[in-house]
Amino acid sequence: MRRTHCCVRILAMVVGCACLYLASPTVEGASQDAASPEVRKLIDLLGTSSSTERVTAADALGNLGPKAAPAVPVLIETLGDADAWVRASAMQAIASIGPAAIPSLVEMLEDKVAGQRIRALMVMQLMGRDAKTALPALRKALGDPVPRVRELASEIIEQIDNRGAETTAVAVVEIVPNDRPVSKPNSPSATPARAAEWHQFDGPNRDLVSPETGLLKAWPEGGPKLLWTIKGLGRGYSSVAISGRTLFTMGDQAIDGGEMSQYVYAYDLQTRKRLWATRVGPPHSDGPRCTPTVDGDLLYAIGTDGDLVCLETATGKERWRKSFADDFGGRMMSVWKFSESPLVDGDRLVCTPGGEDATLVALDKRTGEAIWKCAVPNPGDRGKDGAGYSSPVVAEIAGVRQYVQLFGRGTVGVDAETGRFLWGYNAIANSVANITTPVVRGDHVFTTTSYKTGCALLHIRRDGDQFHADEVYFLGPQDFENHHGGVVLVGDHIYGGNGQNRGGPTCLDFLTGKIAWQPEPPARGSTGVLFADGHLIFRYDRGSVVLVEATPDEFRIKGQFDPPKGEGPAWAHPALNDGRLYLRHGDLLLCYDLREAE
């Protein structure tokens, strides 16, 4: 919504806008009469009563890119659809069409209704540099009476000037690969857990790596065996944490006739019965993003309003609570609320309120009292102040234990013992949403964001008490940008989905940035990823699940299936515990058996 999780994203961009039926500006050089039969058929589907078919039609038009230009007027009408997921798909489709849609969007900027001007700007924001022909209209919008219009116009102008859009891999420091033993995890485990437990966001070491073996090397037609389902999780993109025989997650719903609220739940894995539900805070338009962190007899969770709670795992009883806003002056970099999954490291709980004096904090995990607060200095002009949508990891870098986090202004390292700011890297920040958790191995940090930004490898260098983040390479969005869903390091290669709202499977060399393979996506939407027993599991947000061999040699699919679907996008990251794959889609949780037959 990586969660976190993350997060959210394009869907949440449009949720807050009023559902207006927009006028249809004309598209220069394109009309519905000139549309191909394929485009005309998809335009007709946009008018059906099924929201699933409307999403499918918008997705297909987006895949056609500029060829779908005749559909722009109808797609702009669809921005007023009653279904937020349809609106999000239409937004992305218009952005994919690119410059041909700019005249229509510029025309929308002249509309008297602020909501329409905001929607036009949101689409241009997705376009990045493709919106450069709109610069005169964007500069004019800087004088708009509506603050949100002025803010978006300013961000888009900055984004158009983003150097990452034209940058390719350039080595700037000597690569010393002697810090990369592949048999060790990418970072030290914050809270050691039994190999069979998936006790926190993205697995035992927060790196999307499962230590399990004995799993299916290929899936049968229709996918692995479905063991059971749970319905009743409510809205949300939270994944699951598992400890012993108990599963934990979060969701928004009304329980026992009460008002809609945000909850942490516990389920018995043997009976699938809910053991308890504890209210965290107010609901969000599409639910929470945080995955609870389990630490023995306690767990920790963060609500979308920044409510941090410590609960007893056995009973759900609240031990203590903090408010990011009230206790730490916390704030988000943009509108989609808190999405972080907190980190337990020894006796402390680490999280990211995003406040001016408390960008990151370490709390006593038993009492909630502050151990230290880190005011991260501004590392550069890119991005925005406040927390991002990422979750921190802990690692030993240049001989110092550090918390590495991606926030509104970029990627940073903080001394785990004292909270002292050590280093920062601003070039990876965008002003929309910084989401993907960084990957650490040895003294190298891989970091990536979307919204026409890219990815970078940093070499963290120590000079006495000073630390420096040297850029080994930077790849622009035309090469690799992970929107959300995360990336995983296996051996010497990074694997993950490439593209904004597009999970193009990609394998690139960790130390050089050279792309080994990058085929067309096997399914629509963005994708989460995890690694287990020599294979990658890609979970696409339209529902599809794909098994891929984890090798840089070539892209080899070893199985693919479409599980039962819930509502909205399937953004919850997949989880793996005791040979069982857990897939959440909104209100629905599915459990599949991945173990090889004995």
> Are the C-beta atoms of residues 152 and 159 closer than 8 Å to each other?
no
Written in H, E and C, the secondary structure of 315-348 is CCCEEEEEEHHHHHCCCECCCCCCCCCCEEECCE
Instruction: Give the C-alpha separation, 490 to 469, whole Å.
Output: 23
**For residue 598, what pLDDT is reported?**
61
Instruction: Give the C-alpha separation, 162 to 430, whole Å.
Output: 9
**For residue 226, what pLDDT is reported?**
98
**For residue 256, what pLDDT is reported?**
87
**For residue 196, what pLDDT is reported?**
53
Q: Determine if the peptide bond prior to 493 is cis (ω within 30°).
A: no
Hey, is 457 helix, strand or coil? strand
**Residue at 152: amino acid letter:** L
Backbone angles phi, psi at 401, to 5 degrees: -70, 130
Q: C-alpha angle with apex 340: 336 to 341, nearest 5 degrees?
A: 145
Pairing of β 504-509 and β 515-517: antiparallel
Q: What ranges make up the beta strands (E) of 367-407?
A: 370-374, 393-397, 400-407
For 425, the enclosing helix (H) or strand (E) is strand 421-425
Within 10 A of 192 (CB to CB), how many other CB atoms are there? 10
**Residue at 11: amino acid letter:** L
Pairing of β 348-351 and β 454-463: unpaired
* Low-confidence residues in the chain, pLDDT < 70: 1-34, 162-196, 598
Question: CB under 8 Å to 104, separation ≥6 — which residues?
Answer: 25, 26, 27, 72, 73, 76
**For residue 362, what pLDDT is reported?**
98
Long-range own/partner contacts, residues 296-299 (CB < 8 A, 24 or more apart): 298/365, 298/366, 299/241, 299/248, 299/264
Nearest to 501 by CA among 519, 516, 517, 521: 521
Nearest to 582 by CA among 284, 238, 253: 238
Instruction: Give the C-alpha separation, 85 to 50, whole Å.
Output: 12
Hey, is 415 helix, strand or coil? strand
Hey, is 70 helix, strand or coil? helix
> Are the C-beta atoms of residues 156 and 505 closer than 8 Å to each other?
no
* pTM metric for this prediction: 0.83
**For residue 161, what pLDDT is reported?**
72
> Are the C-beta atoms of residues 169 and 475 closer than 8 Å to each other?
yes
DSSP 488-530: EEETTEEEEEEBTT--EEEEEETTT--EEE----SSSS-EEEE
Pairing of β 400-407 and β 307-312: unpaired
Q: Which residues pair with 475 in a beta bridge?
A: 455
Sheet with 557-561, edge to edge strand ranges = 209-210, 527-532, 535-540, 545-549, 557-561
Long-range own/partner contacts, residues 261-266 (CB < 8 A, 24 or more apart): 262/287, 262/288, 262/303, 262/304, 262/305, 262/307, 263/234, 264/292, 264/299, 264/301, 264/309, 264/311, 264/316, 265/233, 266/313, 266/316
Tokens representing 100 are 């041909």
Which DSSP category does 219 fall into? Answer: P
